[in-house]
Amino acid sequence: MNVMSNNIFTRDRTRRVVVGDVAIGGGAAISVQSMAKVPTTDVSAVLKQCEDVLRAGGDLFRISVPDESSAAALKEIVKNSPLPIIADIHFDYRLALLSLDAGVHKLRINPGNIGSPERVKIVAKEAAARSVPIRIGVNSGSLPEDIAEDENLSEVDAMVKAAEREISILEDAGFFDIVVSLKSSSPAVTIEANRKFAQKYNYPLHIGITESGFGEQGIVASAVGLTLILNEGIGDTVRVSLSEPPENEIRVAREILRFLKLRKYGARLISCPTCARSEGDIQQIAPKIFERIKNIAEPITVAVMGCVVNGPGEAKSADIGVACGKNQALIFKNGKPLRKIAIDDIVDELLCEIDDLITNR
């Protein structure tokens, strides 16, 4: 159940499409995806990023196809990828056809630059023959010229119109395995565009705040925008766009869905902010523990607390935790003391207890 209560739409109302072995829409678990950030022709680098995304909890992996040599590399990538592959096509519909031949599981096309309706129809026919869905990826910064220059359209209406135009081309070709995204770098514009679209269509929505930036600004922009959209029952697959490695995008998306109780993911670390009572350097210890637990798939909560006086009690919701004392630290389980350990052994001893907990669950 969503932790928020004002869902306007129900997520099972959208059409379901299938990308490889991942369903999008129709009430399926909200999938998270990221994108390769290395040249597509560098197959081993692409596959390494794909593995990183998988380990971080990603479900889908997108790859830009800027030229024919990139399309040629897709075959090897698709063959060895642990995740379904989405080919991102701009400008040249023939690259979409080559990507389909390479076995990609989904296409993303941009209505601002993919070319004439006839070409889109050719792509739709080939995609339908392979049961490959198509995402119409509307970006406020690259709308079709006539729509972008129409002064009677607000930014939001222009984005929805660009999506509508492409949808009708696909529908006219008898193609309905459509996913749509309406993205802007402004959370407010993105929210409104998705809301307007969802009022008119039941195609599944890929949601994200584009060009969010990096670090805290990018994370907050994505978290605020995506939370408000998801809270209305909108959004079937999520991409967080950061100027950071792909697995960071997955981790942020994952945390947003986890906090909204829309998906369960692996280990979560909670740590206290510290205060004058703190007996340990939590700012040093917490990141070290996070590094060691971040890829644990089991949904457990681990606490790192600064003092034994309040730590175990304040973190009693955690499955396992450690609280720092003078020269020694205390490992606790569900808020109850377990054993004392040397301060220097905190990371290894806590990891040992986490292993034990997971094994005996």
Binding residues vs ligand SF4 (CB under 6 A): 272-275, 277-278, 305-307, 310-311, 314
Measured from the CB of residue 40, what is the shortest distance to ligand SF4 in angstroms?
47
Measured from the CB of residue 351, what is the shortest distance to ligand SF4 in angstroms?
21
- C-beta of 235 vs 311, nearer to ligand SF4: 311
Measured from the CB of residue 3, what is the shortest distance to ligand SF4 in angstroms?
24
Measured from the CB of residue 290, what is the shortest distance to ligand SF4 in angstroms?
17
Measured from the CB of residue 307, what is the shortest distance to ligand SF4 in angstroms?
3
- C-beta of 244 vs 279, nearer to ligand SF4: 279
Measured from the CB of residue 340, what is the shortest distance to ligand SF4 in angstroms?
17
Query: What are 165's two structure tokens?
Result: 């135009």
d(CA 257, CA 255): 5
Q: Which helix (H) or strand (E) holds 19?
A: strand 17-19
Q: Are 338 and 332 in contact (CB under 8 A)?
A: yes
- C-beta of 64 vs 301, nearer to ligand SF4: 301
- C-beta of 217 vs 334, nearer to ligand SF4: 334
Which residues are within 8 A (CB) of 238 and not within 5 positions of it... i.e. 6 or more apart? 30, 31, 32, 33, 206, 207, 208, 226, 230, 253, 256, 257
DSSP 194-263: HHHHHHH--S-BEE--TT--SHHHHHHHHHHHHHHHHTTT--SEEE---SS-HHHHHHHHHHHHHHTTS-
- C-beta of 12 vs 281, nearer to ligand SF4: 281
Tell me which residue has its CB nearest to ligand SF4. 306
- C-beta of 220 vs 309, nearer to ligand SF4: 309
| Number of continuous H segments (helices) and E segments (strands) in the chain | 12, 15
Handedness of CA 242, 246, 247, 253 (dihedral sign): positive
